[in-house]
A = this chain, B = another copy of it.
Amino acid sequence: MVFSTDIDLLKHLAAKGAIASKISTTTSDISKSLAISQQSASRRIRALASEELISSYSSPRGIELSITEKGRGVLQSYLAELKGIMASKLPPKLTGKVTSGVGEGKYYVLQPNYNSYFKKILKSSAYAGTLNLLTEEQALRQFLMAATPNIFDGFETSERTFGALKTYSVVINGEQKAALVMPERTTHKKGVIEIISPVNLRKKFSLNDNAVVEIELIESSGGI
């Protein structure tokens, strides 16, 4: 029997990367994240393992574990079910047309200060380029209103000023996690947005100019 607490723990482990590969963690780490005791974390991990939702190896140096096929299936069907239920009231989606940018975004990505911020947001380093999209101005405004931005404050050096940014966690075409970047002051014309991502989105989705991509809002799970 799979309980909702199991789903919760599985979800936490998935967020830590246990779907893609084996992860190393400790029961006290888990206990802090889920606000339970170390002992309970240990017990619940063993419960997941006995249900074969994860495979784990414990030692006095910590726990190595990964989510099994069965465990992923459980998460996936939970997600699918929830998706189906919420289908009528899903988070807003936005579509954009690929456009050739002026390269403003690339400039940001390459700046060390912005770069480390992006790294935190994406939980992985950013591809050295951005995808420029032309959206409907009003749809964009509405879309962003529904979102919670991450804010980068901006700063000044003696030489120049680095403007503030807002970024929004999104999923591109339903499968690639990315971030929508809105510079506080931009030279873009209205409706043009920039997407940063760990991968080259143009390549991944074989996008030429005017190709349409779908941008979906997500919670930045944990966030920064």
Q: Which residues of B contact A65 (CB under 8 A)?
A: none
Using an 8 Å CB-CB cutoff, how does the interface string of A4-15 with B read, 1 for contact, 0 for none? 110110010011
Flag if B82 contacts A86 (CB, 8 Å): no
Which chain B residue has the least Cβ–Cβ distance from A75? B86
CA distance A11 to B7 in the complex (A): 13
Count of interface residues, chain A, beta-carbon cutoff 8 Å: 51
Chain B nearest CB from A188 CB (Å) reads 20
CA distance A115 to B42 in the complex (A): 44
Q: Which of A125-153 contact B (CB under 8 A)?
A: 138, 141-142, 145
Interface-located stretch among A46-54, A87-95, A96-104: A87-95
Flag whether A206 is at the interface (Cβ < 8 A). Answer: yes
Q: How many copies does the complex hold?
A: 2
Interface-located stretch among A24-32, A106-114, A157-165, A213-221: A213-221
Flag if A142 contacts B205 (CB, 8 Å): yes
Known: A7-B4, A138-B206, A142-B204. A219 touches B91 (CB 8 A): no
Flag whether A83 is at the interface (Cβ < 8 A). Answer: yes
Flag whether A60 is at the interface (Cβ < 8 A). Answer: no
Residues of chain A at the chain B interface (Cβ within 8 Å): 4-5, 7-8, 11, 14-15, 17, 19-21, 69, 72, 75-92, 138, 141-142, 145, 169, 171, 174-177, 203-206, 216-221
Known A84-B177, A138-B206, A142-B206; further 16 A-B contacts with Cβ < 8 A: A11-B82, A11-B85, A17-B89, A19-B85, A19-B88, A21-B219, A69-B171, A72-B89, A75-B86, A76-B91, A81-B218, A81-B219, A83-B171, A84-B171, A84-B219, A88-B176
